[in-house]
Amino acid sequence: MRACIILGVICVHVISAYNVRTPNLSGLDFASSLLVMSFHFTREAFMFITGLVLFYTYYDREFNVFSFWRKRLFLIAIPYVAWTAIYILYEGTYYH
């Protein structure tokens, strides 16, 4: 399931990058837009799989809120903020 989601995300990005280069309102533009829209199931599928895995993981365990959020902070929030800052700095210097 994760492989399908990853492949779907890659398809969205590749087709979107290609779609920018097609003439507006052409048949190719319409077809590639339809393909991009059909691959947008990936967000919902990712959220479903994430919720399912979290539910399955913590179903028979004792749940500790502090350890749960501490793990998410170090593994998700800090890298997200760091990469967002790098992206903003890169984009800021790229356009100036």
Which residue pairs from 75-78 have beta carbons closer than 8 angstroms and sit at least 24 positions apart in sequence? none
33-84 tens-digit pLDDT: 888 888 888 888 988 998 898 898 888 888 888 988 888 888 888 898 998 8
- Give the whole-angstrom CA distance, residue 35 versus residue 8: 10
pLDDT at position 93 over 70: no
Residues 6+ apart with CB under 8 A from 5: 42, 45, 46, 49
Tally the residues of the chain. 96
- pTM (2 decimals)? 0.56
Residues 6+ apart with CB under 8 A from 41: 8
pLDDT of the residue at 48: 92
Residue that has been written with the tokens 């393909």 in this structure: 35
- Give the whole-angstrom CA distance, residue 14 versus residue 48: 24
Sketch the domain layout of the chain as residue ranges: 1-60, 64-96
